[in-house]
Structure 1
Amino acid sequence: MLLLLMLLLLLFLLQLLLLLLQLLTLFLLLLLPLLLLLLLLVLQLLLLLQQLLLLLLLLPLLLLLMLLLLLLLLLLLLLQLLLLLPQLLILLLLLLLPLLLILLLLLLLLLLLLQLLLLL
């Protein structure tokens, strides 16, 4: 009987130990992703700091490059405008030419009427 009680006690202790191991495993499984996430976050912050320092070092160069690109863009826009200007003048002439012709015809008609009135 005593042997049976001892075996039951041993079984109970083994199950308790198994339960403790399972709890520890579960705790580690829950804690491990959080620890990895925290580690990744710290690494990300360190990389961000490094990038910020690098960016601060490269900022004047980047600003100069952006300024050069902006000047190039302005130069290209000016060039396009200069190339577009003759086309706009030609288009304006083509639009005004019929109007000028109509005005000229009206002037000629007016002169003709004036001559007719002078003849009478």
Structure 2
Amino acid sequence: MLPLPPVSLPLLPVSLPLPLLLLLLLLLLLLLLLLLLLLLLLLLLLLLLLLLLLLLLLPPLLLLLLLLLLLLLLLLLLLLLLLLLLLLLLLLLLLQLLLLLLLLYCCYCCYSCYCCYCYYCCYCCYCCCCYSCCCY
């Protein structure tokens, strides 16, 4: 059986394959996590500024209590920051695995396909491979 001629991709596809959707969701989650990290760092900076201001204004005993409280809060924020960084590293690892899955999905599709008249041809190989009708 002869392969069908290659098809051209539309400019705006109607739907996306599942690995690509997962990849986009993971990227959005990474962006939200980075924003949270930036907000946390800003909060740490504000706490340090508040600490410096308190050093200049308060009497010694009250200052000592507030310093201890701020130190505890600072340690909790640093712990939260470390946990967020760990989560960010795990998400980056998941992103790499998802990209690998997408690549394997695409190449498996290309190895087993005949060109067809449908959307989402992948070009990791030299054939036109459509997600919706050639990847079985």
- TM-based fold match above 0.5: no
Provide TM-score, normalisation by structure 2.
0.37
Question: Which structure has more RCO (C-alpha within 8 Å, separation ≥ 6)?
Answer: 2
Report which of the two has the higher share of helix: 1
Provide TM-score, normalisation by structure 1.
0.41
